[in-house]
Amino acid sequence: MLDLFDNEYGPDGFRTCSVTGLRIHRSAENPTKLFALTAIVALLVGGIFAFTVAMTRWELVGLLEAGDFYTHLSMHAWNLLIFWMIFMEIAVLYVGGPMVLGRRLSIPTLAKVGWGTMVLGAVAVNYGIWKTSAPNEAPLLTAYVPNPSEPLFYAGVIVFLLGATIAALPFFATLWVEKRENAGQTLPLVTFAAFTTAVIAVEAILGGLAAFSYAFLWRMEIIASVDAAIYRQLYWIAGHGTQQINLVAMIAVWYFLTHVVGGAEVVSEKVSRTAFILYLFFINLGAAHHLLSDPAVSTGWRIFNTSYAFYGATFASLIHAFAIPAGIEAGRRRRGLGGGLFGWLTGAPWLNPMFSATIFSIILFGFLGGITGVIMGQLQLNMTWHNTLATVGHFHATVVLGTTVAFMGLTYFAIRTLFMRQFISPKLASIQPYLYSGAMAIATLMLMYVGILYGVPRRTTEVVENIPGTEFSLSAAGPLFSVFGVFALLAIAGGVLFLVLAVGSVLFGKRIEPGDNDDITPDGGLAADGGESVHHYEMRGTFVLCLVFLTAFVITYLLNWYLLSQLWKIGI
């Protein structure tokens, strides 16, 4: 089909990537392309609904009626938070597993079966949501029973989760074969990260199957009732677990892309691996923050999960937040590319969209998503964030500015190195991460502001215009919504540009011949020649950046506690 799946392989089915130096087998490369392309389709569908949702939120336009809004919001959420991400994450597993290990993909037939099952599930979910009619309700991402949704929706989710499990099996099988053949050898860091991602994915999928099977049986009236409190806990194993897969997969992509296009070196493998293990232990406990306002769980349970356990995951993120820029700084200084305090950073390949997208993902995830995540994940501070648009701002900062931007970088990388195509416009490809990340960052910031400053709710169609039947007026938030509306449109334009570039380049890009990919390899080569050990190089630029991050963290943290301490004045 349009020679999308053609590359020149040797008689053993392997080829060597000129950028990464990896031995890539046909059995791993083709499914990776298939999953990545399907993810792009989901991004397109979700992106269309991003437009209708944003233009409804911006009440100057006020596009949708209340009856349609939730359906559009559900389509937006399921296609972007689940389908775009998980199709892409399966591709990440195949890159991190067989490709990094230089192996065949074991049981490749299962990859195709998994893909088909996932597509079937995704189509069913989309159809189920789109055809929702009373008494059913569009499920958004919180498909809470006893609110009924279309039976097809529950069935679609179950099929999709089963499909994801099937698609992940070849990855596990590949690792199993690797460990049998090379017992006692550690996995490369990116493979280890992909493995952590897959383990968390298994947890999420098991939780999801339990929750949605339970709801499906209830919806089909096979069982009479569902314990709503138990259901919510089961639900969030998947509901938040899927977002944790996004997080860990994103960090795997950060390590991979900063190395292969930025020349980063791993400063301490042990420390980075420990951080992934911390995720494994603690990150799903953080999902409890969705139940912080839930009456069914005890305060002690909530405090343990959202304080002591949650900090384990936060600590892991802080390790990566230091390790990755430190790796770039040390790697570039080792190649003689690091003059002054920040020369290693400013002299980096900023016109390469794979690099710029990765760095924007790191910065924006850290400053906007990470800090707010810790704040709203606390039992006390959550009270000022819960169910306001600030929460929406937070998860746009994590999964859009973080994961989506990182995956955009990975897609660009795949276009050049797997599909072997030049970009249809290298200049526009250079600009796109700046446009998308910048505009989306301002739109996200405005969502946080209108939520935390004005308490604008997140689930109603009406936001600035007074919510009918209430004494509250949110009209003062109007100016911030105007800023949001303009930047949301710019961000959508950036998303459209990405889709045009990605699809256009895959279909119409000039085929890359051997040697044509040299422009994306790091300055000084992928492996630094000679020089001292990476630990001999100063990382003072990273230290300063970490201090800036810490300062922003402390100020935001204190400000939120101050605001909370003022709440007792309400009603006086």
> Using CB under 8 A as the criterion, which residues of the chain lie in contact with another protein when the complex forms?
66, 133-135, 146, 148, 218-219, 221, 224, 340-342, 346, 348, 350, 367, 434, 438, 441-442, 445, 449, 453-455, 466, 468-476, 479-480, 555, 559, 562-563, 566
Question: C-beta of 472: minimal distance to another protein in Å?
Answer: 6
State the Cα–Cα distance between residues 52 and 46, nearest whole angstrom: 10
Q: Of 198 and 348, which CB lies nearer to another protein in the complex structure? A: 348
Distance (Å, whole) CA 19 – CA 4: 19
- Residue 535 is encoded by which pair of tokens? 């630990």
DSSP letter string over 245-256? HHHHHHHHHHHH
How far, in Å, CA of 55 to CA of 485, rounded?
7
Q: Which is nearer to another protein, 550 or 559 (CB)?
A: 559
Cβ closest to another protein, residue 313 vs residue 363: 363
227: phi then psi, degrees, rounded to nearest 5: -75, 110
- Yes or no: say if 184 and 146 are a contact pair by the CB < 8 Å rule: no
> Among residues 90 and 445, whose Cβ is nearest to another protein?
445
One-letter-per-residue 3-state SS of 481-526: HHHHHHHHHHHHHHHHHHHHHHHHHHHHCCECCCCCCHHHCCCCCC
* 386 alpha carbon, distance to own chain's centre: 21
Structure tokens, 503: 């699809």
Residue 122 Cβ vs another protein, minimum distance, rounded to whole Å: 25
Amino acid letter at 188? Answer: P
For another protein, the closer CB: 116 or 479: 479
Q: Which residues contact 95 (CB under 8 A, 6 or more apart)?
A: 32, 190, 194, 256
According to DSSP H, which parts of 58-107 are helical? 66-77, 85-94, 100-101
The tokens for 227 are: 């314990």
Helix (H) or strand (E) holding 176: helix 151-181
Looking at the Cβ atoms of 232 and 302, the one nearer to another protein is 232
For the bound state, the minimum distance from the C-beta of residue 532 to another protein, rounded and expressed in Å, comes to 24
Q: Which is nearer to another protein, 315 or 342 (CB)?
A: 342
Residue 10 or 146: which CB sits closer to another protein? 146
183 or 224: CB nearest another protein: 224
Q: Could you tell me the smallest distance in angstroms from the CB atom of residue 548 to another protein? A: 9
Q: How deeply is 434 buried, as exposed, middle or buried, from its count of CB atoms within 10 A (0-12, 13-18, 19+)?
A: middle
CB of 134 to another protein, least distance (A): 5
Query: Residue 157 Cβ, how far from another protein at the closest point, in Å?
Result: 17
CB of 454 to another protein, least distance (A): 7
Question: Cα separation of 427 and 550, whole Å?
Answer: 35
Nearer to another protein, 145 or 252 (CB): 145
**Residue 68 CB, nearest distance to another protein (Å)?**
14
Comparison of 507 and 563: residue with beta carbon closer to another protein = 563
CB of 559 to another protein, least distance (A): 6
Alpha-carbon dihedral angle through residues 538, 543, 545, 551, given to the nearest 10 degrees: -170
Find the shortest distance in angstroms from Cβ 471 to another protein. 4
Sign of the C-alpha dihedral computed for residues 197, 202, 207 and 208 taken in this order: positive
Q: How far apart are CA 438 and CA 432, in angstroms?
A: 10
How far is it, in rounded angstroms, from Cα 572 to Cα 569? 6
Q: How deeply is 480 buried, as exposed, middle or buried, from its count of CB atoms within 10 A (0-12, 13-18, 19+)?
A: buried
**CB of residue 396 to another protein, shortest distance in Å:** 15
DSSP secondary structure code for residue 518 in this structure: G
